[in-house]
Structure 1
């Protein structure tokens, strides 16, 4: 007879509580209240003070009429207020919509309307935008945040942040969500084609990804974390909640500047930071004198695009230890990791960098990552050659797209989240990203990975940044075209760089044209390939081809 393990054994207040990352700050304040939580210029704030300020924010928002499920938007750089908002907004029962501060006014207005934001917290740097948004969106309540390191513009908004907190209760009795499936955050995709989609995170996923960050990195208690990654991007890959769970230190950074980063690392003994490959490349290529005096190991997490092995090699030579993770907005930022193996330590630095450039295996608390044929939904062969679509499944996946049931249905077709990224499964089971489906170049019937070509370009010591896109060609259909940023003072020519690549790549994969100059980037450091495609389409060669 089967034993009944259910009758009389249900959930109750004593044995079950919804998972939520907002509880992490409560524990940090209870256990490590006197320990440093935030560093920002002259500001030093401990965990007890930070918790009380988050409670005041939650209380203040409720007094403004914010109710459970309402949207509170923020337009903030990496400042103490941004850290506090990640706790205070969900403590109020609301949903945090962290806006990309680099977007144009039309995009911001769309997001505020689509998400039905009741309140907007805006840094004084964006005062003009906040004023215009308030005029365009009826009923939007603007809270002016005058950061100590920001410009002084007190005359905007319905009230200011410190006044809102002063009227709030530091002992506000916040509650965990009634259901861990409740929304905690709303993040918009880039929207390079059509309107951006609103990705909805739940409390459970945010908590599990925050804990997974700790597990993947062996993140110690009281780690000192530098905010090189924008907190508006996938909620800073969930690291505001991760750092609270370890009672670490948030060293805020309004704007990325390589020299300032090295200065902060030296001054505050930074132990960890996260960034896109372009940011790591900027650090790797900075003058050596800027790094003088940094003696302790610094650990970085890299994601956002496949990191060129050449950059990984340079960072290792600097004494920086990089962990490669992979994910998308829809999976809370990183949800897979290139878990390093002991035997990799016997490899050369270049061989180790090649291994570390793989997207790897699932996060601890993610159920699965694989590569499937999107038509048959069958796994590709684990041979490192057969290409399919990378897909995720598990707790670290979004609820779906806000007000977009068709897009949600399509994204979850077949019981997997479809990333749109193409990859292979290596013989050791690790996932290797080959390209975005739209970035694969088909030349004379042959598939060319733009990532592979970019890796070759990055091997040249004069290359600071590189991106490869398809250029229409009358004979081959498409050929690889490269856009490259060179180090200051370099005299490298197009012919010389093409010849360099020809020694690494097959002839048909070698770029047929290279353009030098600054690359368009998002605020998170990703190179905007769609802008490069626009440049190619407007060239005389394309006009003739289409003519």
Structure 2
């Protein structure tokens, strides 16, 4: 069966292709017409193949239409993180050289500040607010599409998304890949390789639950690919453990994309809540973004069965995959290389290390070259021949399975010894009184760095010295004392992005103000 949203929508316009967080259903024919009108409108605005535009939009059909328009007109679409401030948004709009900027009314305030980076006639507000009386310079998006034909535009050519990295060590950079000039549907069919690696099947009845913000690369890629395979996209506005279970039952979800933090929250639900929902439709629950503690993953497999798949990749490319069977045979692995990928583990001199030895992880993916837009220095610095790295540390076993140790930038050097925070975090995370945890190095006059843990207590757990002592005691016999935190602080809520990525710099940086730290 031929795949690709545009073909599928023409063949079955009544297919419910997307369901908004408020339950509004959007049929494929409607989305197709909206995307076509947008292409015609943006072409009239002067956009040509190779140009790009940005969207500051929540999860739902509005952002999906922007994505579908770009991917059939040869444009780059950059979804912007809606948690950013106006100046941060303006930086991305300007750096991406956006020729149009679309803002949802929910984000109008910071969006208006960010819109200053683009010409006034290229700023568009989504929705039906015809008054537009707040004087912030937006045109209404319907003005761009009103009267435009809903027929397919001529000269269709494949576009792409250009996501911005999180900027954990400086300003974010756009990961830009060359456009391939293919027919959009043929390109979409090639994209389905991603989900096919997990054994996911095309067509209906299949439904993909979008659990995290669509401005994240993996969320866009997995959701977009599921759509191109004919799956219905069911959007969550904000992740909630029980709400996820409810949606899985309500919409007969077959596949989704999660992070280990989601697993921890699900497992913390009362047993009566966990067993109240029918999850029998779920066949592929895919996770990534951070190392998953072995007990947490094992508990999910015990609960959900052999449908929990894992992978390792980055905005820049990938990657590895671990089936449930792989993981059980190689506890803690993130899998083996994709058929189109290769892995390389090297020491600080760039020389390959033997199996079992830790080093910097480099990857390459066939036909997936990229550059950091406007930063050839960063592009070159992260390359080793035709491999790239995002700075993670890990090792390969004798069978070629990859294990993550930590981010190189997060490694603690105490008394000359390399200590990996992720190992300590994984041990603390399994404690029932821990909802979330971060471990990092802080200055120590004698040892260079000492180990600090910051813990978000589980509901009902009382933070304080007694809990700190209990957590440390739980490490006895499981972790060498040299790896024990020297101190534990408590926090009401861990600073994580909605995709689960921990913003550790927000916790660590105050301790290093005025000091030099090599990262």
Flag structure 2 segments of 5+ consecutive residues without an equivalent. none
Task: Tell me which of 292, 303, 316 is aligned to 1:318.
Answer: 303
Per the alignment, do residues 253 and 109 of structure 1 end up closer, same or farther by CA in structure 2, a change over 3 Å counting?
A: same
CA apart distance, 1:68:
1.8
1:528 aligns with 2:503: yes
Higher mean alpha-carbon deviation, 108-117 vs 192-201, is at 192-201
CA distance in 2, matches of 1:241, 1:62: 23
Q: Does the 8 Å contact 2:212/2:238 carry over to 1?
A: no
For residue 475 of structure 2, give the secondary structure of its aligned residue in structure 1.
helix
CA distance in 2, matches of 1:135, 1:443: 46
Task: Tell me which of 256, 264, 267 is aligned to 2:250.
Answer: 267
Q: Does the 8 Å contact 1:189/1:329 carry over to 2?
A: yes
Cα deviation code 1:208-244 (max 9, x no counterpart): 8832322222112232111112211116251233112
Match of 2:354 in 1: 381
Match of 2:94 in 1: 113
Task: Tell me which of 318, 330, 343 is aligned to 1:355.
Answer: 330
Per the alignment, do residues 47 and 516 of structure 1 end up closer, same or farther by CA in structure 2, a change over 3 Å counting?
A: same
CA apart distance, 1:521:
1.2
Match of 2:174 in 1: 198
1:255 aligns with 2:238: yes
Task: Tell me which of 228, 232, 235 is aligned to 1:245.
Answer: 228
CA apart distance, 1:74:
0.5
For residue 100 of structure 2, give the secondary structure of its aligned residue in structure 1.
strand
Cα deviation code 1:415-455 (max 9, x no counterpart): 21122111111122111111111111122222111111111
CA distance in 2, matches of 1:193, 1:459: 29
1:495 aligns with 2:469: yes
Flag structure 1 segments of 5+ consecutive residues without an equivalent. 1-21, 345-351
Q: Does the 8 Å contact 1:187/1:199 carry over to 2?
A: yes
For residue 385 of structure 2, give the secondary structure of its aligned residue in structure 1.
helix
Q: Does the 8 Å contact 2:126/2:140 carry over to 1?
A: yes
Match of 2:26 in 1: 45
For residue 493 of structure 1, give the secondary structure of its aligned residue in structure 2.
helix
1:328 aligns with 2:328: no
Match of 2:150 in 1: 170
CA apart distance, 1:88:
0.6
1:71 aligns with 2:49: no
Task: Tell me which of 475, 491, 494 is aligned to 2:446.
Answer: 475
RMSD (Å), alpha carbons: 2.8
Q: Please show how residues 188-227 of structure 1 align to structure 2 within 5 Å.
A: 188-203=164-179, 210-221=191-202, 222=204, 223-227=206-210
Q: Does the 8 Å contact 1:210/1:239 carry over to 2?
A: no
CA distance in 2, matches of 1:133, 1:525: 25
Per the alignment, do residues 287 and 134 of structure 1 end up closer, same or farther by CA in structure 2, a change over 3 Å counting?
A: same
Higher mean alpha-carbon deviation, 210-219 vs 460-469, is at 210-219
Per the alignment, do residues 536 and 158 of structure 1 end up closer, same or farther by CA in structure 2, a change over 3 Å counting?
A: closer
Higher mean alpha-carbon deviation, 279-288 vs 119-128, is at 279-288
**TM-score, normalised via structure 2 length:** 0.88
CA distance in 2, matches of 1:363, 1:236: 19
Match of 1:13 in 2: none
Aligned residue pairs total: 498
CA apart distance, 1:301:
1.4
Match of 1:286 in 2: 269
Q: Does the 8 Å contact 2:411/2:418 carry over to 1?
A: yes
Q: Does the 8 Å contact 1:57/1:89 carry over to 2?
A: no
Per the alignment, do residues 174 and 306 of structure 1 end up closer, same or farther by CA in structure 2, a change over 3 Å counting?
A: farther
CA distance in 2, matches of 1:62, 1:427: 54
Cα deviation code 1:336-362 (max 9, x no counterpart): 2124447x6xxxxxxx3x935322222
Cα deviation code 1:292-318 (max 9, x no counterpart): 122415332111111122321232233
Match of 1:370 in 2: 344
CA apart distance, 1:134:
3.0
CA distance in 2, matches of 1:194, 1:429: 33
Per the alignment, do residues 138 and 63 of structure 1 end up closer, same or farther by CA in structure 2, a change over 3 Å counting?
A: closer
1:337 aligns with 2:317: no
Match of 1:4 in 2: none
Q: Does the 8 Å contact 2:308/2:324 carry over to 1?
A: no
CA apart distance, 1:132:
2.2
